Amino acid sequence: MREMDRDGLIMCRMQGRAFEKSLEEENSSPVFIRRFMNSNLARRMDKNYFLNTNQSETQMVEEINEDYPRKIGSMKFDKEEMYWIGYLYRYWAYIWNISSKEIYRICDGNDMRRHYHYFHSLAPEKAIEKLMEEKHYQPVCTDEEKHYETIYSSEIEERCRKIFSERLFLEKNKI
């Protein structure tokens, strides 16, 4: 896990404002969130290439609409909910170095909305911690660059068994 810095906060605010801006469009909020979190734009933000562009929040929403031109649904979240959801998704991706697509798989837009009233007044780190706990999500560091992958409880148990049996084999065979 890395510390939040100025660049990360800029991206959090921009993503939050882009999510707010999406309310002016015809798509439903859950559809916009799904499209955004699985988009090339989100991938660029995940890799921190985004700050090298001069893209505004309006241009971000336009890019999503160009990639997904079909309008679907009419359900709209509140402006505050959309800002918080966008902000928190980017915060989570930034400090844990997890892709937006993976985070969306863990907690979709409707899940985030359900948790808004309980968690919006918490510090972002605490809200993310609570979401991970509720979703039985355990990030595991997979390399020296601190890239985390999603591991669920059953997978952790399976990995532990595998490691234990490998160590037991090595000890028995003195390898």
pLDDT digits (tens, 9 = 90+) for 75-109: 999 999 999 999 999 999 999 999 999 999 999 99
In SS3 terms, 100-115 reads as: HHHHHHHCCHHHHHHH
Q: What residues make up the domain containing 77?
A: 6-122
Structure tokens at 80: 């505050």
| Residue 131 domain flag | no
Whether pTM > 0.85 for this model: the answer is: no
Reference 23, options 58, 50, 56; nearest CA is 58
| Residue 130 domain flag | no
Q: Which of 18-22, 26-30, 155-159 has the lowest mean pLDDT?
A: 155-159
Q: For position 144, what pLDDT does the model report?
A: 46
Which has more confidence, 120 or 171? Answer: 120
Tell me how many domains the chain contains: 2
Give, for 152, the enclosing helix (H) or strand (E): strand 148-152
Q: For position 147, what pLDDT does the model report?
A: 47
| Residue 145 domain flag | yes
Q: Do 109 and 70 have their domain in common?
A: yes
User: In this structure, what are the phi and psi dihedrals at residue 137, rounded to the nearest 5 degrees?
Assistant: -100, 130
DSSP secondary structure string for all residues of 64-104: HHHHS-S--------HHHHHHHHHHHHHHHHHHT--HHHHH
Q: Residue 72: which residues within 8 A CB-CB, separation 6 or more?
A: 27, 28, 31
pLDDT at 115 exceeding the cut of 90: yes
116-134 average pLDDT score:
95
Q: Do 88 and 62 have their domain in common?
A: yes
pLDDT at 70 exceeding the cut of 70: yes
164-173 average pLDDT score:
67
Determine the 3-state secondary structure of 143 from DSSP.
Answer: coil
